[in-house]
Amino acid sequence: MNFEPVIGLEIHVQLKTKSKMFCGCNNNSEEAEPNTNVCPVCLGMPGVLPMINKEAVRFSLMVGIALGGKINCNSHFDRKNYFYPDLPKGYQISQYKCPLISGGVVEITCPLEKEKQLGKTTTYQKQIKIKRIHLEEDAGKLIHPEGADYSLVDLNRAGTPLLEIVTEPVIRSPQEASIFLKELRSIMRYLNVSNADMEKGHLRCDANVSLREEGTEILGTKTEVKNMNSFRAVEKALAYEIKRQEELLEKGKKIVQETRGWDETSEKTISQRSKEEENDYRYFPEPDLPPLEIDQRWIKEIKAKLPETSLQRRERFETEYKLNQELLKALIADKALGDYFEEVISELKEWIKDIEIKEDSARDGFVSGEKSKALAKMISQAASLIVSELIRLLNEAKVNIANCKISPENFAELITIIYQGEISQGAAKEVLGEMFKHGSDPSHIIDERGLAQINDPRSLRKIVNEVIEENTGPVSDYKSGKMQALGFLVGKVMQKSKGKANPEIVNELLRELLS
Amino acid sequence: MALSAKQLKHLSRLARLKLTDKDTAIFQKQLSEILGYVDQLQKLDTDKVEPTSQVTGLVNIMRKDSIDQSLPRKEALKNAPEQLEGFFKVKSVFD
Amino acid sequence: MTIPEIHKEFHTKKTTALELVQRAIEVIEKKEKNLGAFISLDIEAALKAAEKVDERIEKGEELGILEGIPFALKDNIMMKDKNVTCGSKILEDFVAPYDATVVERLKKAGAIVIGRTNMDEFAMGSSTETSFFKKTRNPHDFNRVPGGSSGGSAVAVASGEVVFGLGSDTAGSVRQPAAFCGVVGLKPTYGTVSRYGLVAMASSLDQIGPLARNIIDTVLVQSVIQGADERDATCVSDERNNPVYDLESIQNLGVKDLKIGIPKEYFTKGLDKRIAEKIGEAVELLKKQGAQVILVSLPHTEYAIATYYILCPAEVSANLERYDGIRYGYSAAVDSDEETKNLFDVYFKSREKGFGNEVKRRILLGTYVLSEGYYNAYYLKAQKVRTLIAEDFKKVFRQVDILVTPTTPTLPFKLGEKLDDPLQMYLSDVCTVPASLAGVPALSLPCGIVYENGKKLPVGIQLIADYFKESLLFQVGYAIEKLQK
């Protein structure tokens, strides 16, 4: 029997509004002490009332529009009733009957398995259909100290706006699930409505998993898989669950409909049957909140102001900056990095504007009309340096671009220095490393370390002549046609100048003097 | 509409409300009587009637996304039956 | 003496704010042991506040509308740093961390709180007998109930302990005790007074309302507590919710040419004949003053109680889920008399021990009508009948300006008389529930006395008007009040 997995995902995304969903408490509790971003409303004290955060609704509509879903213009909130210590009111204000958005689609690109690859086609496109998207409030956090007979409740997170996104059961592999989640994260970041960091809990995912016989429409019994805290965990947990169900079905056993939690340590899904017992949520419309009637004008306004999607940015970067595929991929994958890149470009543009036309500069020179050419070259250089060097530095130090010590201003300055040939490529790497560590100015570093490249032909001529005198053998080799000897001589000049000589100028000088 | 003891037990669990045997017997009788009384609504034909969730007719009441003052933690925990290092302390959620 | 008259006495130095509070304290000391209107008193603070008011009078400063006026607050309205119990064991030691909006407004207007009053537990009841703490007695006959659930506030006003009180009305809990105690009580249009800080019972029905000895005082209190509030999404913030009342018009417009409707469904055989008589007498007087009296019908009236006792318990069951022994309130986890092995036990036993029977009944009933398989037949059905009841009023107000009905079908009943029969207790709300379901404003004021067993029992007459037409209620109420004198 050949089984195919049928997977549907239920994703919760924390929206990064300034204040919470139904009260004015600070929505960012990352650095906060427990129970310090709380008020009578989100504590569920007697007598309090919720008030809808308009920005959370706007963010939700942005997501709905971006995913091509249908905005349900008549929407309202419902109470979902159950008892748990992290749920202060004993009910969650959510949406059951009339979610804000129905439908929508997320397109993903997945790698084809080797055996399915045909010629240059190594990937396939898939449309992940969205069933519904609705708005609700988050519960607090529970901490379970090891071995203790008690749990601790922190309600800082209680009341954070959550967007719940439910997909149709169209996902067919753990890999598709993981790619989908990554694309969803990218969308959230490009819309700037959530940082969608799975590790920080901004994006949470539960999965419904069942198997069905290939070729049939009859769905098998599904289990719900929870507690997957990273993309990797999602892949592993789903793979495990699919295998577990496969093995049971092949033995002729039945799948029990239940909730299973992913255990990272044992790498298994474990039955959590007891929690599922009798959860009749008794949904009814929230009497404290008048319904929403989303008007077309607001939707049009949001649509018009929707931030650039990753696809749009990719196209723009390609056209405006003429970057190659590899550079594009890296700069699009991380929106914050792309933002940084554009800040650097903005600094470069400022610099170019101010530069005076120099008459006798060392390089191609900034003669009038050449400014745009120079800018293009520097942009290209910046992109390369970011993708090849900066990303490496960030990954090694496990630092986010948001916390990078190199200001776009300083980075841009470095690029101008490199472009003007003031330092060699090798020295540039060293300077960048130093800037990354301390956030210092590139010119300071160059001065301190004496990394300035020697570009002045007069000083170089002296060293070149010395080398010519000291290396008669290679000189005559070159003169007799052995091109490699030139390289050797350049090397000697570099040695003598302690690496500071501008190799291109040295090359020219040698040719000149030996011709 | 009579309420069975089994139904009552289910309700008591859902509502996290313990009932003594004495209470169960009395409530069963009283609630059955009340349910019997409210059943008269079935006499009315309401097929074409819209339900009223809100009498005000208000819509789109929302607030600006701005940060207000929170409660000092001492106030927030002031009435807590049990607390520990700034947290509410509860019996373990795992049995 | 009305509040304006009291203020006049302040200005003419006939009395001081301190003296007024002292007199209130004297009355309390004398009568409380028989009445039991208060759960807690704030004597020290009241005296201090009164002194400050007198200082302001001395300096000739402008006085707030309710400056220096002693009042009683129903114990389900939040007042910062005070012990707010809702008449329940589960909040016996609860200290409020914030002020209700209405309390903020009353403080700003200079009113002085004397204490917090007794009530049916979580406002569930029509006699104030389900309070965990004590029984409150009707000042006209100590063996009778004061009505409920705002019995304490009604008694505090009726007995002269305070000048006005605040109560909350969900099915008649301000109007019915007003009628039983012989004072004025208003249930405003739903959405005119902020519910922020009112411990919720049935969110789509609850409204805070004033209790006072006369119409003018009622108007003044209402004008202070009414109005938009950005913390309550169900509180109307457009120009319809206008807390500015013209005392001149209220006192002088009278009832000439007003169309008064008498809904026949309120005058059925369940109504005590003596009450019907008093209402009839009042209506005759209004007729003589130039009002037109028309017989009308609100055909779905008989279904109101059934509708209410589905919707209210449903909302109650959700609103009371927060009382779980975790963040505040009575917890079995820290009760040495209770064994709690796990979290489930904590919920189960805290709520069992913390809540009284009526509360438990409504929670269970509410859980039932919302549960899977029953929602459509009960909750959804009741919401639809609610629409029909509201439409009855809409239709009738196209024919008439105001409705006149009895407030209660019976005279104040004896303590303990209906405690064991919940359904009987519910049926005492038959005249007040429909206006609550529709959300229209309704006022109860005294319209006569009936003698029974040597006691003078007050009779209340209820006026019902269209949404936001409180001024009409006051106008007609004032006319009736004047005619009674």
What CATH number is given for C1-280+403-485 in this structure?
Answer: 3.90.1300.10
Is residue A359's pLDDT more than 50?
no
Among the partner residues B11, B18, B20, nearest to C368 by beta-carbon distance: B11
Among the partner residues A40, A46, A91, nearest to C91 by beta-carbon distance: A46
For residue A381, give the nearest of A421, A354, A353, A350 by alpha carbon. A421
Taking the CA of residue C321 and the nearest CA in chain A, the distance in Å comes to 5
Structural domains of chain A, ranges and CATH numbers in brackets: 3-302 (no CATH), 308-359+368-449 (no CATH), 457-514 (1.10.10.410)
pLDDT given for residue B95 in this prediction? 56
Mean pLDDT of chain A: 90
pLDDT in tens, A439-472: 899 988 888 887 888 888 888 888 888 888 888 8
Structural domains of chain B, ranges and CATH numbers in brackets: 5-43 (1.10.20)
Size of interface B-C (CB pairs under 8 A): 166
Look-up: residue for tokens 């001395």?
A: C58
Identify the three-state secondary structure at position A312.
helix
pLDDT given for residue A115 in this prediction? 75
- C174: tokens are 């301000």
Look-up: residue for tokens 């429409």?
A: A217
Q: Do C203 and A284 touch (CB under 8 A)?
A: no
* Chains near C (3 or more Cβ pairs under 8 Å): A, B
Spatial separation of the C-alpha atoms in residues A106 and A383, rounded to whole Å: 29
Identify the three-state secondary structure at position A74.
strand
Among the partner residues B31, B46, B76, nearest to C364 by beta-carbon distance: B31
C397 inside 8 A of chain B by CB = no
Active site (annotated) includes residue C336? no
Q: Which of C362, C384, C387 to mutate to test the interface with B (most CBs of B within 10 A)?
A: C384
Residues 6+ apart with CB under 8 A from A277: none
pLDDT in tens, C331-354: 999 999 999 999 999 999 999 999
C371 inside 8 A of chain B by CB = yes
Spatial separation of the C-alpha atoms in residues C137 and C453, rounded to whole Å: 17
Is residue C99's pLDDT more than 60?
yes
pLDDT in tens, C30-80: 999 999 999 999 999 999 999 999 999 999 898 989 999 999 999 999 999
| Sheet of strand A141-143, all strands in order from the earlier edge strand to the far edge | A141-143, A150-154, B87-91, B83-84
Q: Do C190 and B27 touch (CB under 8 A)?
A: no
Q: Which of B40, B55, B63 to mutate to test the interface with C (most CBs of C within 10 A)?
A: B55
pLDDT given for residue A288 in this prediction? 98
Q: Which of C203, C364, C379 to mutate to test the interface with B (most CBs of B within 10 A)?
A: C364
Residue B1: pLDDT band (50, 70, 90) is: low
pTM, 2 dp: 0.91
Is residue C219's pLDDT more than 90?
yes
Interstrand relation of A105-111 and A292-293 (parallel, antiparallel or unpaired): unpaired
Percent of chain B with pLDDT strictly greater than 70: 98
Is residue A241's pLDDT more than 80?
yes
Q: Is the torsion defined by CA of A398, A401, A406, A412 positive or negative?
A: positive
pLDDT given for residue C317 in this prediction? 98
Is residue A275's pLDDT more than 70?
no
pLDDT given for residue A501 in this prediction? 83
Residue A362: pLDDT band (50, 70, 90) is: very low
The H or E element containing residue A491 is helix A484-496
Chain B residues in contact with C438 by the CB 8 A cut-off are: 55
Is residue A363's pLDDT more than 60?
no
Residue A72 has φ and ψ, to the nearest 5°, of -85, 100
Chain A residues in contact with B14 by the CB 8 A cut-off are: 278, 280, 282
Q: What is the CA radius of gyration of chain C?
A: 22
Mean pLDDT, residues C123-150: 97
Residue C183: pLDDT band (50, 70, 90) is: very high
User: Which residues pair with residue C293 across a beta bridge?
Assistant: C260
Residue A17 has φ and ψ, to the nearest 5°, of -75, 165
Catalytic residue among C74, C135, C187, C349: C74
Q: Do C370 and A282 touch (CB under 8 A)?
A: yes
Q: Is the peptide bond before C444 cis (omega within 30 degrees of 0)?
A: no
Spatial separation of the C-alpha atoms in residues C94 and B81, rounded to whole Å: 10
Is residue A357's pLDDT more than 50?
no
pLDDT given for residue A495 in this prediction? 86
Catalytic residue among C88, C127, C131, C149: C149
- C301: tokens are 């009236």
Taking an 8 Å Cβ-Cβ cutoff, which residues of chain B contact chain A? 10, 13-14, 16, 53-54, 56, 58-71, 73, 76-77, 82, 84-95
Among the partner residues A45, A88, A288, nearest to C233 by beta-carbon distance: A288
A386 and A341 in contact (C-beta within 8 Å)? yes
C143 and C430 in contact (C-beta within 8 Å)? no
pLDDT given for residue A278 in this prediction? 58
Q: Which of B56, B61, B63, B94 to mutate to test the interface with C (most CBs of C within 10 A)?
A: B56
Taking the CA of residue B17 and the nearest CA in chain A, the distance in Å comes to 12
- A257: tokens are 């409909």
Sequence-ordered alpha helix ranges (H) in chain B: 5-14, 21-38, 73-77
The beta strand positions in A21-103, using DSSP E, are 52-53, 70-71, 74-75, 78-81, 91-94, 101-102
pLDDT in tens, A36-73: 999 999 999 999 999 999 999 999 999 999 999 999 99
Mean pLDDT, residues A326-330: 92
Active site (annotated) includes residue C173? yes
Active site (annotated) includes residue C108? no
Catalytic residue among C126, C153, C168, C173: C173
Q: Do C327 and A48 touch (CB under 8 A)?
A: no
Sequence-ordered alpha helix ranges (H) in A160-230: 174-191
DSSP letter at A307 equals P
Residues 6+ apart with CB under 8 A from A269: A223, A225, A237, A240, A241, A244, A260, A261, A262, A263
- A449: tokens are 């370390």
pLDDT given for residue A371 in this prediction? 77
